[in-house]
Structure 1
Amino acid sequence: MEAGIVGLPNVGKSTLFNALTQSKNAQSANYPFCTIEPNEGIVPVPDERLARICKYIPPQKTVPAILKLVDIAGIVKGASKGEGKGNAFLSHIREVDAILQVVRCFDDPNIIHVAGKVDPLSDIEVVEIELMLADMQTLDTALPKAERAAKSGDKEAIARAEVIRKCQAHLATDQPLRKLKLNPTEQKVISSFGLMSMKPILYVTNVDETDLEGKGPMVQQVRAFAEKVGAEVIPVCAKLEAEIAELEPADRQEMLNASGLTEPSLAGLARAAYRALGFQSYFTAGEKEVRAWTVPVGATAPQAAGVIHTDFEKGFIRVEVYGLDDLETHKNEKAIRAAGKLRVEGKAYVMQDGDICHFLFN
Structure 2
Amino acid sequence: MMLTAGIVGLPNVGKSTLFKAITNSQVLIENYPFATIKPNIATCPVSDPRVKKITEIFQPEKIVPTVLEMHDIAGLVKGAHKGEGLGNQFLANIREVDAICQVVRCFEDSNITHVANKIDPVDDFEVIELELIFADQQVIKNRLEKTVRKVKVTNDKAALKEIELLKKINQALDQGVVLRNQKLTEDEQELVKPFNFLTIKPVVVIANIGERDLSNKDNKHLEALENYAKEKGLEVISVCAKIESEIAELEDAEKTEYLKMLDIEMSGIEQIVLATYKLLNLATFFTAGPKEVHAWTFIKGMKAPECAGIIHTDFMKGFIRAEIYNYQDLIISGDEKKVKDAGKLRIEGKNYQMQDGDICHFRFNV
Is residue 227 of structure 2 the alignment partner of residue 227 of structure 1? no
Deviation (angstroms), 1:98: 0.9
Note if contact 1:207-1:214 (Cα within 8 Å) is conserved in structure 2. no
Note if contact 1:105-1:218 (Cα within 8 Å) is conserved in structure 2. yes
| Structure 2 counterparts to residues 1-362 of structure 1, below 5 A | 1-24=3-26, 26-151=27-152, 152-212=154-214, 215=217, 216-362=219-365
Partners of 1:160 and 1:214 lie apart in 2 by 52
Greater mean deviation of Cα atoms: 258-267 or 169-178? 258-267
Unaligned runs of 5+ in 1: none
Deviation (angstroms), 1:102: 0.4
Partners of 1:246 and 1:337 lie apart in 2 by 42
Partners of 1:273 and 1:168 lie apart in 2 by 27
Partners of 2:93 and 2:15 lie apart in 1 by 15
Identical columns (%): 50
Partners of 1:241 and 1:145 lie apart in 2 by 48
Note if contact 1:159-1:189 (Cα within 8 Å) is conserved in structure 2. no
Greater mean deviation of Cα atoms: 126-135 or 52-61? 52-61
Note if contact 1:150-1:161 (Cα within 8 Å) is conserved in structure 2. no
SS, match of residue 211 in structure 2: coil
Q: Are the structure 2 counterparts of residues 110 and 304 from structure 1 closer, same or farther at C-alpha, using a change threshold of 3 Å?
A: same
Deviation (angstroms), 1:246: 2.6
Q: Which amino acid aligns with 1:220?
A: E
Q: Are the structure 2 counterparts of residues 187 and 19 from structure 1 closer, same or farther at C-alpha, using a change threshold of 3 Å?
A: same
Deviation (angstroms), 1:241: 1.1
Deviation (angstroms), 1:278: 2.1
Q: Are the structure 2 counterparts of residues 213 and 317 from structure 1 closer, same or farther at C-alpha, using a change threshold of 3 Å?
A: farther
Equivalent residue pairs, number: 361
Q: Deviations over 1:10-68 (max 9, x none)?
A: 100010011111112x2211111111111111111111111122222221121111111
Q: Are the structure 2 counterparts of residues 340 and 245 from structure 1 closer, same or farther at C-alpha, using a change threshold of 3 Å?
A: same
Deviation (angstroms), 1:248: 4.1
Q: Are the structure 2 counterparts of residues 338 and 251 from structure 1 closer, same or farther at C-alpha, using a change threshold of 3 Å?
A: closer
Greater mean deviation of Cα atoms: 254-263 or 340-349? 254-263
Deviation (angstroms), 1:139: 0.3
Deviation (angstroms), 1:153: 4.5
Greater mean deviation of Cα atoms: 34-43 or 339-348? 339-348
Q: Deviations over 1:277-330 (max 9, x none)?
A: 221111111111111101112111111111001111112122122222211111
Unaligned runs of 5+ in 2: none
Partners of 1:289 and 1:213 lie apart in 2 by 42
Greater mean deviation of Cα atoms: 302-311 or 73-82? 73-82
Note if contact 1:167-1:177 (Cα within 8 Å) is conserved in structure 2. yes
Partners of 2:57 and 2:175 lie apart in 1 by 55
Partners of 2:25 and 2:345 lie apart in 1 by 43
Partners of 1:117 and 1:336 lie apart in 2 by 60
Q: Deviations over 1:246-278 (max 9, x none)?
A: 334454444333322344321221111111222
Deviation (angstroms), 1:204: 0.9
Q: Are the structure 2 counterparts of residues 70 and 301 from structure 1 closer, same or farther at C-alpha, using a change threshold of 3 Å?
A: same
Length-normalised TM-score, structure 2: 0.93
Deviation (angstroms), 1:199: 0.6
Aligned-pair Cα RMSD in Å: 1.9
Note if contact 1:214-1:220 (Cα within 8 Å) is conserved in structure 2. no
Q: Deviations over 1:201-255 (max 9, x none)?
A: 0111111223338943332332333333332222111001111223344544443
Partners of 1:251 and 1:54 lie apart in 2 by 22
Deviation (angstroms), 1:155: 4.6
SS, match of residue 242 in structure 1: helix
Q: Are the structure 2 counterparts of residues 158 and 314 from structure 1 closer, same or farther at C-alpha, using a change threshold of 3 Å?
A: farther
Note if contact 1:150-1:157 (Cα within 8 Å) is conserved in structure 2. yes
Q: Deviations over 1:152-206 (max 9, x none)?
A: 2445433432332221122122111110122333222222222111111011111
SS, match of residue 224 in structure 2: helix
Partners of 2:249 and 2:303 lie apart in 1 by 40
